[in-house]
Copies of this chain bind each other. A is one copy, B any other.
Amino acid sequence: MVSRPAHGKRRTACRPRPHPGELPEDNRGAGGRALRQSALNSWQGIQAEIRRRIADRVWRPGDQIPGEADLAAEFGCARATVNRALQGLADSGLLERRRKAGTRVALDPVRKATLEIPVIRLEVEAAGGEYAYRVLQKEIVSAPAPVAEKMDLSPGVDLVHLRGLHTADGDPFLYEERWVNLDSVPEFETADFTSVSPNEWLVRNQPFTRGEISFLAEAASSEQAAALGAAEGAALFAIERTTWNADAAITHVRLAYRQGYRMSTEI
């Protein structure tokens, strides 16, 4: 074996942690519980401290905060670590950063809510239900003008038009109306949706590079009402989504959720 200096575990040259014994205590002091990744010189710890200063109005909306170099010096860490912390806060709308102008606490913080829209089957199963999908109607149609417009297609192109119902333990969960561009996905015409929903089929078989998604409320049509077991005209939460693969439209779909459905997230 190669002989090694006695201080076995060699620290990297550039990591002179200020006072080796202090971190655990500081950690506990930071709020009652010792978080593994929230040491004061970790990016998460710095982020938490910045959040605290904004919440405690040490830095007020509109204020310019110290530059990355200053903060790095204060926290005893590399500038890249401060950068990582501040970028996250800027992404979530709490800070506004501009070169030369510096970093400011946002005056009108844009609340960014990140909604996670899982594959429907997973959503149903996560809620403990047994998932199923049933085709209600399938036909090939000439693209109606409004649909063609949303898909950036010329009207009259042939599309598969599909209506279906997603259920949880047999109860209606989601009503789906979909149009699929056969020019982009010719295999879709003969796909079998007895075990896999069209949604899932497309996810697995047709990647996309771009999409638009809208959230809206709509009054249940008579067909939707019948399928979902709701009253006609009931207010339904709906999602409309269109996807393209390099400018070639793939599909346009409108999902109407069962009555009372809400989509939630934390901010």
Measuring CB to CB, which residues of chain A are less than 8 angstroms from any residue of chain B? 51, 54-55, 57, 61, 93, 107-119, 122, 200, 203-204, 207-219, 233-238, 240-241, 245-246, 261-267
Contacts and interface: CB of A to CB of B under 8 A. Distances in A.
Contacts of A207: 54-55, 57
B263 A215 contact: yes
Contact of A113 (B115, B210, B218, B267): B115
Contacts of A112: 114-117
Contacts of A113: 114-115, 117, 213
Identical copies of this chain, number: 2
Given A233-B233, A235-B218, A213 B110 contact: no
A246 B54 CA distance: 13
A219 B219 CA distance: 9
B55 A213 contact: no
A210 B51 CA distance: 11
9 smallest CB-CB distances across A and B, nearest first, come from: A217-B217, A235-B235, A216-B262, A217-B237, A217-B235, A211-B267, A214-B264, A111-B117, A219-B235
A262 to B, nearest CB: 4
B114 A119 contact: no
B114 A216 contact: no
Nearest to A107: B204
A216 B109 contact: no
A210 B266 CA distance: 8
Contacts of A61: 203-204
